[in-house]
Amino acid sequence: MARKIAVIGAGVMGLDIALEYISANFEVLIFDQFKNRPGLEKDKQDKMWRLLFLAMKDKRHLMHPNNETLETVMERVTWLDSNPDNFGRLSECEAMIEAVFEDIEVKHKLIRDIDLACGRPVLLLTNTSTLAVKLLAKASKHPEMVMGFHFFNPVQMMKLVEGIPHEGTSEETVGKARELAEVINKKFELVPDLPGFVVNRLLLPMIESAGLFVDRGADFRGIDSSFKNGTWTENDVALEIVYSHIIAAHDFLQEQKNFRAELTKEKIDEIVRLGTNFPAGPFALKEAIEKGEAGKLKFRMGPAELCDLVGIDVAKHCLEMLRMQEPDLWSTVPDILKHLCEAKKFGRKAGEGFYSSVDVGIVEMADGKKYAKVSLRENTVSHNTVKQIKKVFDSLHNEPIEAVVFEITKCRGADISEFPLVARNPGLAKTVIGDWHATVKSIMNFPKQVIAIVRGAAWGGGYELAQACDYILAEKGAKLSQPEVLLGIMPGGGGTQNLTRRVGLLKSLGMILDPKMEVEASKPWVDEVLDDITPEHLDNFINKGLWKRNRPSLWPELNKDLAEASELISKLRRGFAGQSPIAFEAAVVAILVGNHKNLELGLALEAELVIKLFENSADNIKEGIRSKFERRDPIFS
């Protein structure tokens, strides 16, 4: 009989925690406020299905390799509204993990409701990230069964769980919490019941300090850069930020002395590394500074990028909760965090925060004229990023510029981790493909010339964005491909039309229908190839005053090459491990029929065919995605 656990709160952390226990063969009850929020339960179920679809057993094997096993696993999840009528089900579980909004009143009400409704006391593990557990235990009739159980985001990647017993937590509860962490392969570390515990108590001073420096005019980009390239001791502001972390660690050594768990410097360093992915803990950082060896310690990201990752709103709220508990120790929340939240710029999850997934700036040329530079910051293009690209291009229409330069660097194409959900809910395809086409058209129809710069690679959707530009400049060695058919889909960002009109029928058929084909940047795939694309070269290219690209239909060429095209299509169809996917045939139609038409009609046909693939060929798409994650050839049926 499967073990059973409950997770209360189906936000990002709640679903990720639930996934860990589902993957460990538990039955999981997931509670949230579904009743009064139409569509929420379906949304959360879809997100869990996607998490399970993408879950890896190891680097080469998915945990759930087919639809049947995935649906069987989904049957081990029960979705319940968070109301007292359902809390009686908690008595079936060996523990409940609370992951609701970080607010003491919300958590107190939940604990009281559970106590009233549940037929027997059940171990309560709270995933609070800043609130002292003793404050939460006050609301419980069974405080000895309440304990902090703090996971880190993203849960699947972060191995640490902070275990936080308050003064009244029983040893039995601590032992059970340890076992529940270890059964999902997490490293369980007992830490003192201080607000923020170890990791956040020592990390948030850096966030606070960085924000206050930005309020006073500091350059967050320069600060982040120094963290990442190992020059943070040479940047006075960055060094101050690191020292806020070190000082907090020294204070912690004294503050922890009245608590059950007391940690050594070495253990604190270990816990911080595990909870932050920093190159070293605070005491090791101090030692490296004193020895002049800090340059060896490079951070994966600086404080502004870290805020974007965890969520600007989350960082702001954590600082508010710490100030609420210890007003004398914490400053007011930095204004920059407040302003970003007011603008709904919550970080990566929103596509905008300190950074945007799409950067934009105005560049002055040597002759005083200006152009806009738009840069993709991510290696994959998410749906949010697609919408952000359109927003940026729309915002530039009235700028006094000569051109837009669109930088695409090491782009792997569309974010295929989003595809399973579209395959599960084909109605989403209309929205996603509609947004891709709206973005591509905003680039193609921009009133001034648009010049793509490709560095490293532009695959799939990345190359389609480049094709939408009037001209493509590439650095020598850049690689280009359209691998969509291998995923059971076809180019859906204009590639079946723009590529054919750029390189001709036979070359476009070769690239699109042979999804393993990759070419090094050269004509006609791009317009120019250079060893290094310098500002001077861009100035010269823009000042040529080139026209917008003409993209006429190709019907005379199509008719001339039809026999050769037919032979090539037959040859490429035989190149698949099993039978060719339906997407292969759909791409043929899009290329041969769409390019007989004007561009607008050709794009409309492409969009229609891609949407039909998601509606009628979902199993092919799922197999294509699975094969990509498992690094094997797909077997289409």
Tell me, yes or no, if 484 is annotated catalytic: yes
Angle of helix 335-342 relative to helix 312-325, nearest 10 degrees, comes to: 130
Spatial distance between the Cα atoms of 609 and 590, rounded to a whole number of angstroms:
7
From the candidates 98, 378, 484, 623, which is the catalytic residue?
484
User: Which tokens is 180 given?
Assistant: 């529940």
Spatial distance between the Cα atoms of 303 and 467, rounded to a whole number of angstroms:
36
Question: Of 518, 482, 516, whose CA–CA distance to 590 is shortest?
Answer: 482
Single-letter amino acid code for the residue at 230: G
CA atoms within 13 A on the CB side of 255: 18
Q: In 232-357, which ranges are E strands?
A: none
Which residue stretches of 416-455 are H helix?
419-424, 427-444
From the candidates 464, 475, 615, 630, which is the catalytic residue?
464
Measured between its terminal Cα atoms, the distance across the chain in Å is 36
Spatial distance between the Cα atoms of 529 and 544, rounded to a whole number of angstroms:
17
Question: What long-range pairs does 536-539 form, CB within 8 A, spacing at least 24?
Answer: 536/366, 537/473, 538/365, 538/371, 538/405, 538/451, 539/365, 539/366, 539/367
Single-letter amino acid code for the residue at 504: G
Tell me, yes or no, if 464 is annotated catalytic: yes
Which residue stretches of 371-411 are H helix?
383-395
Q: In 151-305, which ranges are E strands?
A: 160-165, 187-190
Q: Within 10 Å of residue 57's Cβ, how many Cβ atoms?
A: 12
CB 384 within 8 A of CB 452: no
Angle of helix 618-629 relative to helix 40-54, nearest 10 degrees, comes to: 50
CB 48 within 8 A of CB 77: yes
Helix (H) or strand (E) holding 174: helix 171-182
Single-letter amino acid code for the residue at 546: L
Instruction: Report the catalytic residues.
Output: 464, 484
